[in-house]
Amino acid sequence: MATTASRKLAVILHADVVGSTTLVQKDETLAHARFQAAFQRLANATEAYGGIAHEIRGDALVAEFSRASDAVCAALAFQIENTDHNQNLADNIRPDLRVGISLGEVVIADGTITGAGVVLAQRLEQLAEPGGVVVQGSVSETVPVRLPFAFESLGEHTVKGFDQPVRVFVAKLKPGEPVPAPESHATAVLQKDLPDDGSGRPMLELPDKPSIAVLPFTNMSGDPEHEYFSDGITEDIITELSRYRELFVIAGNSTFRFKQKDVDIGEIAHQLGVQYIVEGSVRRSRNQVRITAQLVDALSGSEVWADRYDRDLDDIFVVQDEVVAAIVGALPSRVRLAELERADRRPMDLRAYDLAQRAWQLMYQWTKAGIETATELAERALEIDPKNGSAHAVLVGVELLNWRRCWRGSPAETLESALTHGRSAVELDETEYTGHWYLSEAYLFRLKDLEQAKVHAERAVKLCPNASGPLAWMGLINACSGEHQAGIEFCNKALRLDPFAPDYLQYLAGCVHFNA
């Protein structure tokens, strides 16, 4: 029978005995008995903090946790207990353990756990002192600041089997502080249990406000090179609709899943959990643009509104605003147009606009080649129009991704660049939510400034309350501030707005769960 293997993101703890060969040479039977006793104490600590002790491999143990804070708690609690136990032994068969903790993908099959996460934890453990705990940088970042831990940097290390350097930290208790006691793990989950719709996905209930999804507008220009332009129009309309608190607007990440697919509008509405669907097309020819759009009530199948707009390309922002206003006006809603907070759109250079749109499209491919080209395009856009806030926002996102993947330069310089571009983005347009969102990340990762990170995260959510990315990030900020229930609620909302959420959104939600 074929074995079913499961893959997932997990926090992995790897521990081994220091100098096991020497101890075995002194007294083989006693040494192995002491090893097993030490591993049992570690397994007990693992289970107490909600982890799973998967297996013992010779003189090593592998454990899995869903939260980074639990792994660090279990490791430090065990090391304290093991040190006390060894000090009371009359002989010199005293097994000291080293512990490494990583966050990565693992594969579980036939009771065995493997994968990059396990390998990295093993490599990190070899950097620890006897009785010490070493963690990956991403692990230290997900541990709540309220916990009594200190993380001392060991710098970047080249790790065998990994292409990029790994940031390494020693985890210790702050002087005079005890290890936090195990907490109940019967806590709130990220999403409520919902009835299944028969497809294996939860059935999404309609929100108590007008709910809408904007499908990717079809490129009718006859030129595949203009695909980015029609996609950009779609994203802009989604963004502008998302600014209305009285609406429930599905994220583009989920609606673009249906691009160029022959799926019934009623089925799309069912999968996304909305009542209204917007679809349309874009035709660009030289300096002219034609946009057609229609609003459909998916419950009744009736067309609520439809129109066509022929404009000069210079008026692209104007026509986008007209489409949004028409959609909002056609909805049986309590939307108040006057309450929308947004800066007046300034005259733009179409060449810079085009370059920035292409850069966004490439950045969201999440590839090194795409990031490099996106950087070039955004920088060219700024050469043409130095006040193009969108291009600065692209460069913040690019640098944050460069930092996460170790794709360019030193981490400190990369984050400093992200911080600089983030400040420029919000200075040029204080009401641009993406700039505030990315600047919040830069403040937290570069300056460890949780206060400013929260200020800009809150501003991003206020400006665009339907944007799933800032909501999930706000969830993480709240969790880092000790406001765990609020963090979970933000992530619940983000995942509902983006039913087919991408990996990074799931990762943020997972980090909130780790912190809770």
Judged against a pLDDT cut of 90, whether residue 439 lies above it is answered with yes
Contact (Cβ atoms closer than 8 angstroms) between residue 117 and residue 66: no
Q: How confident is the model at residue 346 (pLDDT cuts 50, 70, 90)?
A: low
CA-CA distance, 516 to 508, in Å (whole number)?
A: 12
- In the predicted model, what is the mean pLDDT of the chain? 85
Which residues have a Cβ under 8 Å from the Cβ of 228 and sit 6 or more positions away?
Answer: 357, 358, 361
Domains of the chain: 6-173 (3.30.70.1230), 211-339 (3.40.50.10610), 350-515 (1.25.40.10)
Query: C-alpha dihedral over 73, 78, 83, 85, to 10 degrees?
Result: 140
Q: Is 22 exposed, middle or buried (0-12, 13-18, 19+ CB in 10 A)?
A: exposed
pLDDT in tens, 67-89: 888 999 999 999 999 999 999 88
pLDDT in tens, 456-512: 999 999 999 999 999 999 998 998 888 888 888 998 899 889 888 766 666 566 667
pLDDT in tens, 93-115: 999 999 999 987 788 777 688 88
pLDDT in tens, 211-264: 999 999 999 988 888 898 999 999 999 998 998 888 999 999 899 999 988 877
The closest alpha carbon to 282, from 241, 258, 313, belongs to 313
3-state SS, 366-404, equals CCHHHHHHHHHHHHHHHHHCCCCHHHHHHHHHHHHHHHH
Q: What is the mean pLDDT of residues 47-56?
A: 86
Q: Which pLDDT value is given to residue 333?
A: 53
Q: Work out the percent of the chain whose per-residue pLDDT is above 90.
A: 46
Q: How confident is the model at residue 372 (pLDDT cuts 50, 70, 90)?
A: very high
Task: Give the three-class secondary structure for 341.
Answer: coil
Query: CB neighbours (10 Å) of residue 42?
Result: 26
Contact (Cβ atoms closer than 8 angstroms) between residue 8 and residue 506: no
CA-CA distance, 113 to 158, in Å (whole number)?
A: 24
Residues in the chain: 516
User: For residue 168, what are the β-bridge partners?
Assistant: 136, 155
CA-CA distance, 308 to 310, in Å (whole number)?
A: 7
Report strand pairing: 166-173 vs 149-157.
Answer: antiparallel
Least confident of 181-190, 192-201, 334-343, 365-374: 192-201
Residue 386 vs residue 165, higher pLDDT:
386
CA-CA distance, 26 to 277, in Å (whole number)?
A: 74
CA dihedral sign, ordered 54, 55, 56, 58: negative
Which residues have a Cβ under 8 Å from the Cβ of 175 and sit 6 or more positions away?
Answer: none
Name the DSSP letter for residue 431. T
Q: What is the mean pLDDT of residues 328-337?
A: 64
Integer-rounded Cα Rg, in Å, for the chain is 26
Contact (Cβ atoms closer than 8 angstroms) between residue 392 and residue 360: no
pLDDT in tens, 181-218: 886 332 223 333 333 443 444 556 778 788 999 999 99
Q: How confident is the model at residue 1 (pLDDT cuts 50, 70, 90)?
A: very low
Contacts of 91-96 with C-beta under 8 Å, sequence gap 24+, read 91/27, 91/30, 92/26, 93/23, 93/26, 93/27, 93/30, 93/31, 93/34, 94/34, 95/17, 95/18, 95/20, 95/23, 95/31, 95/34, 95/35, 95/38, 96/17, 96/18, 96/19, 96/130, 96/131
Q: How confident is the model at residue 349 (pLDDT cuts 50, 70, 90)?
A: confident
Q: Which pLDDT value is given to residue 415?
A: 94
Q: Taking each helix axis as running N to C, give the angle between helix 484-497 and helix 468-480, from 0 to 180 degrees, rounded to the nearest 10.
A: 170
Query: CB neighbours (10 Å) of residue 92?
Result: 9
